[in-house]
Amino acid sequence: MDEIIEKIDDPDLREEIEKIIPFHGYLSTGAFIGLQMLNLARRLLDIKEGDRIFVTCETQNCLPDTFQILCSSTIGNKGLKIIDHGKMAVTINKAAPPGEETVKSVRIVLDPEKTVDYPIFHAWYMNEAKVSHEDGINELIKADADVYSWYLIDLPLPIKHKKKVTICNICGESFVQDENETICKWCINPENE
């Protein structure tokens, strides 16, 4: 992997990779895809250093880690959502100005119609052959943005409701109500199905 990283001329990209490796544990192909998607979104949405961004990842594997470490977009600060559709896709937007009802966003997808031009990487993506992370990333470096499709969308901003906290009538623990429930979700379904 060091040989591949040494081939990268862009010092900013190398610095980002050096942050991803200890956070993720290694440089995986999925984390590198996240990095390329992030950099593409930066260009498309004119994201500057320090801008707060919001990300929805459509897989829980590898991809979200890039946004957590490089953008501080986490589940806990509501900057990261994971809706696991099993897709290598993300939707990214900057924070909306006050008073806006929508925000300009970009949805970026790893496109199998484009990855076919990079057979080794395509075999990894479609799970057709065992491909090392080194070989997959090497192909992605060559491909750059050529393997992605994207489109701009105006996302409606969610309405922020006042948080209502109450005590569960069964277990006695406090919980945040969605409506006017008197029993927490755990007591309703302890197996979380």
> Does residue 9 surpass a pLDDT of 90?
no
User: Does 122 share its domain with 177?
Assistant: no
pLDDT of residue 193: 53
Residue 192 predicted with pLDDT over 70? no
Which residues are CB-neighbours of 25 under 8 A, at least 6 positions away? none
Residues 185 and 113 in one domain: no
Residues 6+ apart with CB under 8 A from 184: 168, 170, 171, 173, 175
Structural domain of residue 175, as residue ranges? 161-193
Q: Extract the tokens encoding 73.
A: 């977009």
- Own/partner long-range contacts of 97-100 (Cβ < 8 Å, ≥24 apart): 100/157
pLDDT reading at 112 higher than 60 = yes
User: What is the arithmetic mean of pLDDT over 136-165?
Assistant: 91
pLDDT class of 185 with cuts at 50, 70, 90: very high
Q: Which of 46, 40, 49 is nearest to 90 (CA)?
A: 40
Compute the mean pLDDT over every residue in the chain, rounded to the nearest whole number: 92
Q: Same domain for 152 and 166? A: no
Q: CB of 148 within 8 A of CB of 40?
A: yes
Residues 169 and 138 grouped into a single domain:
no
Q: Is the pLDDT of residue 11 over 90?
A: no
The per-residue pLDDT for 129 is 94
CATH number at residue 48: 3.30.1330.130
Do 137 and 184 lie in a common domain? no
185 and 145 fall within a common domain: no
Question: Could you give the number of structural domains in the chain?
Answer: 2
Nearest to 104 by CA among 161, 53, 148, 39: 53
Pair (62, 134) in one structural domain: yes
10 Å Cβ neighbour count for 173? Answer: 10
